């Protein structure tokens, strides 16, 4: 399946222009249409200003003026992102649009993500009112039905998907993610399959040798190789995966999301949780 529809979530934060740039680069290389989703919600600082004004017993007119200023700031940020997106789209020859929607990102983004082949978001929590008790990345993973590509807020990333590291242990989540990521892997300049403690899962079930997944990717036209890492402590797997990926020069990791849909807020897999919480490279996940 080709990536024909990409969705990138943007907001008032300073990291949004960088996500736009990465999304446009990805759309350009895959011939995708790009939708930038901007949810018009108040961020924490704006909510705090409103609360402080209310506690300060200011007049109704002053509250209305404050509300108007905040709404104007929200629209100004959207307009700046629209201008940035238009310039990037012209430069790269990409069909793109900015979609403004009222509501809470935690509710709106999953709905829009279901109409895209891939959803690109930051790995932080939206700054508005929380509509759910779980974190935003966890919610997206388990309710959208679509793969999600998380971009860390910290770090400078020039591209997405030119050198991809695949975390492989022959499990169902790993197989699902690698299959969903095939359009990216097929067009990558290089794909490295990282097998951490393979005897702990592959040998125990038993599954075919890990190198077989490399052959599978090569049949899809990928330039793929295997990297095996043994005796990695369970608590260090997420950090070891990312450190190895950075050492190899990768710009993306593909990993399975471990958890149970009905109770995922309680049973999120340890490595999945650690990858999200301590993300240092863009990570593609699906469930």
**pLDDT 10s digits, 146-170:** 999 999 988 889 999 999 999 998 8
CA distance 168 to 256: 8
Q: Look at residues 282, 269, 35 and name the one whose alpha carbon lies nearest to residue 181.
A: 282
Please report whether residue 158 resides in a domain.
no
For residue 146, with 0-12 CB atoms within 10 Å meaning exposed, 13-18 middle and 19 or more buried, which class applies? buried
Residues 144 and 171 reside in one and the same domain: no
Same domain, 143 and 206: no
- Boundary (domain end) residue, out of 151, 183, 200: 151
| 116: in domain | yes
**Which residue range is the domain that position 244 belongs to?**
163-286
Q: Considering the domain boundaries, does residue 194 fall inside one?
A: yes
Can you tell me the distance from the alpha carbon of 110 to that of 29, in angstroms, rounded to the nearest whole number?
A: 25
Residue ending a domain, choose from 151, 176, 206: 151
pLDDT for res 204: 66
The per-residue pLDDT for 265 is 41
pTM of the model: 0.89
What is the tally of structural domains in the chain? 2
In a domain, 57, yes or no: yes
Task: Output the domain CATH number for residue 269.
Answer: 3.40.50.620
Average pLDDT over residues 165-194: 94
pLDDT at 277: 79
**Which are the contacts of 263, defined by CB distance < 8 A and separation ≥ 6?**
none
Question: Does 174 fall in a domain?
Answer: yes
Q: Is residue 243 within 8 Å of residue 279, measured between CB atoms?
A: no
**Cβ 269 vs Cβ 259: under 8 Å:** yes
Peptide bond into 118 cis (omega under 30): no
Measured distance CA(88)–CA(139) in Å, rounded: 30
Which residues are within 8 A (CB) of 136 and not within 5 positions of it... i.e. 6 or more apart?
105, 106, 109, 121, 124, 125, 126
152 Cβ neighbours under 8 A, 6+ residues apart: 122, 123, 279, 280, 281, 282
Containing 285, the helix (H) or strand (E) segment is strand 283-286
Q: Which of 98, 129, 151 is the last residue of a domain?
A: 151
The pLDDT value given to residue 1: 67
How much is the pLDDT for 135? 72
Least reliable range by pLDDT among 4-8, 23-27, 132-136, 172-176? 132-136
80 and 106 housed in the same domain: yes
Q: Is residue 237 part of a domain?
A: yes
Residue 142 host element (H or E): helix 136-143
Give dist(CA 163, CA 282) in Å, integer: 11
pLDDT at 263 over 70: no
Give the model's pLDDT for residue 101.
97
CB contact at 8 A, 133 and 121: no
**Cβ–Cβ under 8 Å, residues 147 and 177:** yes
3-class DSSP state of 238: helix
In a domain, 157, yes or no: no
- Confidence category of residue 261, pLDDT binned at 50, 70, 90: very low
Structure tokens at 255: 């990993």
Residue 200, pLDDT above cutoff 80 = no
Average pLDDT, rounded, for the chain: 88
| 206 plus 78 within the same structural domain | no
- Measured between alpha carbons, how far apart are the two ends of the chain, in Å? 17
Per-residue exposure over 189-223, b if at least 16 CB sit within 10 Å of its own CB, e if not: ebbbbbbbbbeebbeeeeeeebeebbebbeeeebe
CB 22 within 8 A of CB 132: no
């Amino acid at each position: 399946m080709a990536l024909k529809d990409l969705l990138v979530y943007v907001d008032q934060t300073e990291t949004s222009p960088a996500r736009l740039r990465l999304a446009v680069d990805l759309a350009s290389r895959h011939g995708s249409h790009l939708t930038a989703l901007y949810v018009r919600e108040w961020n924490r600082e704006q909510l705090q200003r409103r609360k402080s004004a209310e506690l300060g017993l200011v007049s109704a007119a002053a509250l209305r003026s404050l509300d108007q200023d905040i709404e104007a700031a929200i629209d100004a940020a959207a307009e700046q992102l629209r201008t940035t997106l238009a310039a990037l789209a012209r430069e790269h020859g990409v069909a793109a649009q900015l979609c403004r929607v009222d509501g809470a990102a935690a509710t709106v983004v999953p709905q829009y993500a279901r109409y895209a082949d891939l959803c690109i978001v930051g790995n932080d929590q939206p700054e508005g009112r929380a509509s759910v008790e779980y974190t935003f990345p966890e919610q997206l993973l388990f309710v959208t039905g679509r793969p999600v590509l998380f971009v860390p807020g910290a770090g400078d990333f020039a591209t997405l998907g030119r050198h991809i590291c695949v975390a492989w242990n022959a499990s169902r989540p790993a197989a699902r993610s690698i299959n969903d990521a095939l359009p990216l892997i097929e067009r990558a300049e290089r794909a490295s399959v990282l097998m951490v403690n393979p005897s702990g899962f592959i040998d125990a079930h038993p599954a075919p040798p890990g190198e077989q997944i490399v052959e599978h990717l090569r049949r899809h036209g990928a330039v793929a190789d295997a990297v095996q890492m043994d005796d990695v402590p369970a608590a260090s797997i997420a950090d070891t995966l990312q450190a190895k990926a950075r050492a190899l020069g990768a710009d993306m990791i593909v990993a399975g999301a471990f958890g149970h849909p009905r109770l995922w807020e309680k049973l999120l897999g340890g490595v999945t949780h650690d990858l999200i919480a301590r993300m240092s490279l863009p990570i593609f996940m699906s469930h």
